[in-house]
Amino acid sequence: MDYVFLKSYYEKEIKLTNDLLNQISQYNIIALFSSIQFVPHMENIMEQLQAKYPDKKFITSKPSRTNAKFQILGCNVYEKNFEFNGTVPECYLYIGDGVFHPQAIVLSQKESEKLTPVVRFNPRNDSIKIFTEDDIVVILRKYRAGLLKFLNAENIGIYITTKVGQQQYEFSKKIKEIYPKKNFYFFASETLDIAGLEDFPFIDTWINTACPRISLEDNAEFNLKMINIDDAMRVKEIISKDCILTRI
């Protein structure tokens, strides 16, 4: 069976508004990103920005797992996913609609000392949204609680999806070497059945390996006490940091 991806590119012309240009005027180094639908417009957008602000620096990268320059994925929620060759952006400018992708940039900064603002420009209605710590405070407080709960948990469930693009079974088994005194139990399904987790009352807390956003937004909404596999492997390092996640 073949898998085919059609990108559904945005077809209309994008012209940056004066409101947006004024909004970003206070920053000197601005990192640009978009979802795949808007990627073909991004070189032109960079030209518009550079023409308006020739003295400012506009940068981008190709975050982990992406296939195109400027593109961002919903799973880019770790700082290491972004590489700017030593340049530190003062602001992120996201071009596109929706909240899922720009919020990934915000969440990627959870282990930073302070948040670099994320500005979203939606070309469909020329609206601007500025993401701040307020957008992620509940998510991160509940995530931090999950990290702390994991430290003292004895019996831990590791959730694995059978979806081919998200399956991380072999990788997740490495956690047994890091915590030899904890008991790990592996659970699989295609889609996470949130209510179904309660059918296993012997599990103290859960590790997610399917999509990192489950442990962030869904965890906050449904109180799952679920953390991501990468973070479970380095909980002590994370909670000892002075960062947004431990301070918020």
Partner 1 sequence: MEYDLELDKLLDMIKNKDYKKIVVQLPDGLKPRAKEIVDYISKNSSCEIIIWGGTCFGACDLPAGIDNLGVDACIQWGHEIFKRTEGWN
Q: Which is nearer to partner 1, 43 or 154 (CB)?
A: 43
Nearer to partner 1 among residue 77 and residue 118 (C-beta): 77
Locate 205 and state its tokens.
């807390």
Whole-number minimum distance, CB 45 to partner 1, in Å? 16
Strands ordered across the beta sheet of 155-161:
183-189, 155-161, 205-208, 226-228
Q: For partner 1, which residue of 52, 57, 59, 98 counts as binding (CB under 8 A)?
A: 98
In terms of Cβ atoms closer than 10 Å to its own Cβ (0-12, 13-18, 19+), residue 230 is middle
Per-residue string for binding with partner 1, 71-90, x by CB under 8 A? x-xxxxxx-xx---------
Contacts to partner 1 from residues 31-50, by CB under 8 A: 36-37
How far apart are CB 216 and partner 1 at their closest, in Å? 11
3 touches partner 1 (CB under 8 A) = yes
Q: What residues contact 210, with CB distance under 8 A and at least 6 apart?
A: 159, 160, 161, 163, 166, 168, 192
Give the C-alpha separation, 6 to 169, whole Å.
28
Task: Give CA–CA dist 151/58, Å, rounded.
Answer: 41
Of 5 and 202, the one with the shorter C-beta distance to partner 1 is 5
* Residue 103 makes contact with partner 1 by CB under 8 A: no
Residue 87 identity (one-letter amino acid): T
What residues from 45 to 74 belong to the interface with partner 1 (CB under 8 A)?
64-68, 71, 73-74
